[in-house]
Structure 1
Amino acid sequence: MNKPLMAGLTGMLALFMLANSIFVINEGQQAIITQFGQPVRDRFEDAGLYFKIPFVQVIHYYEKRILKWDGEPNEIPTKDKKYIWVDTTARWRIVDPLLFLQRVDNIGRANLAMSDLINGAVRDFVTKNDLVEIVRSSDWDPAYNMLTDEEGRKAKSVTVGRDGFSQLVLNNAAANLQDYGIEVLDVLVKRVNYTDQVREKVYTRMISERQRIATERRSEGEATKAQIQGETEKKLKEIVSSAYKTSQEIRGRADGQATKIYGDAFKQDPEFYRFWATLEAYRSTLGSNTRLVIDADSPLYQYLTTSQAKR
């Protein structure tokens, strides 16, 4: 075998050995080195280029960032016999990669372990508490209750509440998952919903309650409307009556003044007044096509004969 070939093979082997002895840790990663299944160094947390013994030592990479766990919705009966769907989620991270490697080794198994522990804690709490403890916050007060039916009147105060429920599940899961090298940061209830059967009953009750409230509001509105209309009509009659009274008083005073003026004027010449009154009677009685038949003793006839005699 010639020397150039040997040199090439040696170089390729050296490069292969070098490539297997170098590893890179990226941002957001951490790693553990094992040799024959046993850890040989503390974990690597800082990003950078590192060396290891090729072929003998193995690198195990794990996420250093916060991870999300999403559980499957579970159908669970509450203490007051209401079947509900509970959907939870959690945030977690790997704080001890060596312990994580020894217990679960990968993210998939970790999610399975979290599902068992968190779902178990959720089921345990739900079955031991009424529905209100899961859907209402811990600061809920019975004064907020707007329902007036029998069930609404029986509403009780919340002792734990939705936020307390999440905290209890978190405490339970965090204590158990420490043995897996996992730190659970929080557990949240994404959704609480009734099963289909219960949901229909709840919707029917909600519709009935809203219709009852609407009817009550309409009745109150009609009563207020009738009261306002009655008061308006009463005030209107008072105004009209007062105005009519005032107008009659003014008219009476005016008529009295007119009568006095007429009387004072006609006292000065009674004969002229009688003559003027007769003329007014002629004007109001006779028209363009009127034929008048009167007695010779009538006052109307008197001035006619007097006028003819003077001619």
Structure 2
Amino acid sequence: MKAPVFFVVIAALIVIGMGSLFVVNEAEQAVLTQFGKPVGDVVGPGLHLKIPFVQNVNRFEKRILKWDGDPNQIPTKDKKFIWVDTTARWRIIDPLLFYKTVATERGALSRLDDIIDSVVRDAVSGHLLVELVRGSDYKTQDSSEERFLVEGVEIKKEELVGREEIFADILEKARASTPEYGIELLDVQIKRINYVEQVRVRVYERMINERKKVAAQYRSEGEGEKAEILGKMGRELKEISSEAYRKVLEVRGAADAEAAAIYAEAYNQDKEFYAFLRTMESYKKAIQDNGRLVISTDSDYYKYLKEAE
């Protein structure tokens, strides 16, 4: 009977010993609770003791955690409705206070939803859309002066701020409310801004109309250059044709003059033979294969045929 009792005692001591030891790794921080109430926090990593069956270890992340909010539809200062999708990075700096106030990471995320969403909504509604999407160093591509009107009041370009200043202000205001939960808010960023569906359709239509206007301008300029090129080509073609026609007339005139000189010289050498030769040539042209030549016998045109007969 003594041996079984001994083994039972040894087993109980082992269970109690294992239940009284716990390890916190480098990426964790822990809070000890006794009957649900916190009795102290363990920050440093390593091996630690607790009362078995009475105290529990609640572990929390020591690393940087992520918060992603739900996209919200928010109107800007210039009354443009946009979807805003926000993200943030945070960490637990006081695990005991964290456990007392929000208990779990899910509870912390819920508190961050309220804090960050409220600050982001105020920031977006208090600034123009152009301020949310542009940096402070933005410069227009052309020299035209931009004008911004809000409810009929013009806002000068010098009064605008960039998105860096807006995000920094959001972080500062949101960070002021997190230490009371044992949380340190490290960064808040708007990761996506987009128009709501109704506004997006109108924006796309305006963009398409602007592109069509630019395309029509390019077509008009192209048609003007085309007409100019065709006109220039037509003028050059007329100049070439005129010059060619002038040269043709010169060559033809010179050839006619030369032929007339040859004819005159031949005529002066033997007038009768020249008349006979020209008459024979005219017979050849006048009498065709399917035609007839009718002349009187006393015609001068018949003289050489009559003499030949």
In structure 2, C-alpha distance between the alignment counterparts of 1:261 and 1:302, rounded to whole Å: 25
**Matched ranges for 1:1-311 at <5 A:** 2-26=1-25, 29-34=27-32, 36=34, 37-39=38-40, 41=42, 43-45=43-45, 50-55=47-52, 57-143=55-141, 157=157, 159-265=160-266, 267-308=268-309
Query: SS of the counterpart of 1:288?
Result: coil
Q: Which contiguous aligned blocks of 4+ residues in structure 1 show a shift greater than 6 angstroms?
A: 148-151
Look up the equivalent residue of 2:2 and give its one-letter code: K
In structure 2, C-alpha distance between the alignment counterparts of 1:96 and 1:300, rounded to whole Å: 138
Change over 3 Å in CA distance of 1:90–1:98 after alignment to 2: same
Deviation of 1:209 (Å):
4.1
Verify the 8 A CA contact 1:142 1:157 in the aligned structure 2: no
Deviation of 1:295 (Å):
3.8
Query: SS of the counterpart of 1:193?
Result: strand
In structure 2, C-alpha distance between the alignment counterparts of 1:165 and 1:192, rounded to whole Å: 14
Query: SS of the counterpart of 2:281?
Result: helix
Change over 3 Å in CA distance of 1:250–1:176 after alignment to 2: farther
Verify the 8 A CA contact 1:142 1:156 in the aligned structure 2: no
TM-score, with length taken from structure 1: 0.78
Look up the equivalent residue of 2:284 and give its one-letter code: R
- Quote the sequence identity (%): 43
Aligned residues: 299
In structure 2, the gaps of 5 or more residues are none
Verify the 8 A CA contact 2:60 2:95 in the aligned structure 1: yes
In structure 2, C-alpha distance between the alignment counterparts of 1:262 and 1:72, rounded to whole Å: 109
What's the C-alpha RMSD, in Å, of the aligned pairs?
Answer: 3.5
In structure 2, C-alpha distance between the alignment counterparts of 1:135 and 1:207, rounded to whole Å: 21
Deviation of 1:72 (Å):
1.9
Query: SS of the counterpart of 2:50?
Result: coil
Look up the equivalent residue of 1:301 and give its one-letter code: Y
In structure 2, C-alpha distance between the alignment counterparts of 1:229 and 1:210, rounded to whole Å: 28
TM-score, with length taken from structure 2: 0.78
In structure 1, the gaps of 5 or more residues are none
